[in-house]
Copies of this chain bind each other. A is one copy, B any other.
Amino acid sequence: MGKLESNKKKKKNALYTTAFDLFTTKGIAKTTISDIVESAGVAKGTFYLYFKDKYDIRNKLISHKTGELFYDAHEALLQAHLTDFNDQIHFIVDYILTQLEKDHNLLVFISKNLAWGIFKGAFEEKITTETDEDYHFYQSFLDLLALSGRTFRSPELVLFTIIELVGSTCYSCILYSQPVTLEEYKPYLHDSIDALLNTFSEKGDVCP
């Protein structure tokens, strides 16, 4: 990679990094392109060499950050050597909740724009890893499922339902402690997830 090209990448990355910082700190609406380029230390015109406008860089960031979060969760799961499918799901949910509780700004940034469509986009987004392999969360989920020997009426709808439930309730609990704190809500959440998994399971074999 030539020096010039690397310089190019450096500027683009600076824009990404500062944009994310500002979006999560001041909010997207109140972040101006002037803010971004000033913090990034590049000229205003440079921004337009890489992005169409503020929403272009925002969308790219959301996909990237969401994918990264799930990728990390999956990596951690591999280290945990869990074999039970339910346990794996709970592990991933807990991992993500822990991350989000550590970083409220990230939660706001991701959730405000969280819809299944974007989520799925994020899952399918190539997460370029150090080994340059692409990572797709949705495929990983299906893999876990296959290994578990479990079958569901509609795997996609199970995942959809759980993700929406988790995202939606935890947004409120983490950010506003409404109606209760995340710590208080977690037991109910995991019970709810179990209930959903059982309901959608084709062999109703896990009714406790």
> A195 on the interface (CB 8 Å rule)?
yes
Counted per complex, copies of this chain come to 4
Contact between A120 and B178 (Cβ–Cβ < 8 Å)?
A: yes
Contact partners of A29 in chain B: CB under 8 A: 29
- Whole-angstrom distance between the Cβ of A183 and the nearest chain B Cβ: 13
> A164 on the interface (CB 8 Å rule)?
yes
Interface flags, A176-208, vs B, CB<8A=1, else 0: 101110000100110110111011100000010
> A128 on the interface (CB 8 Å rule)?
no
- Which one of B120, B153, B189, B196 contacts A195 once the chains associate, using CB atoms below 8 Å? B196
Chain A interface helix/strand/loop/mixed = helix
> A151 on the interface (CB 8 Å rule)?
no
Contact partners of A156 in chain B: CB under 8 A: 179
For the complex, give the distance between the alpha carbons of A189 and B178 in Å.
Answer: 23
Selected A-B contacts with CB under 8 Å, 30 pairs: A115-B171, A115-B172, A116-B176, A116-B178, A116-B179, A117-B172, A117-B176, A117-B178, A153-B188, A156-B179, A157-B180, A157-B185, A160-B169, A160-B172, A160-B179, A161-B169, A161-B192, A164-B169, A165-B165, A167-B168, A168-B168, A188-B200, A191-B200, A192-B196, A192-B199, A195-B195, A195-B198, A195-B199, A196-B196, A207-B207
What is the interface of chain A, defined by CB distance below 8 A to chain B? 29, 115-117, 120, 153-154, 156-157, 160-161, 164-165, 167-169, 171-172, 175-176, 178-180, 185, 188-189, 191-192, 194-196, 198-200, 207
19 additional A-B pairs beyond A117-B178, A157-B180, beta carbons within 8 Å, are A29-B29, A115-B172, A115-B175, A115-B176, A115-B178, A116-B176, A116-B178, A117-B172, A117-B176, A120-B179, A156-B179, A160-B179, A161-B169, A164-B169, A191-B199, A194-B199, A195-B196, A195-B199, A196-B196
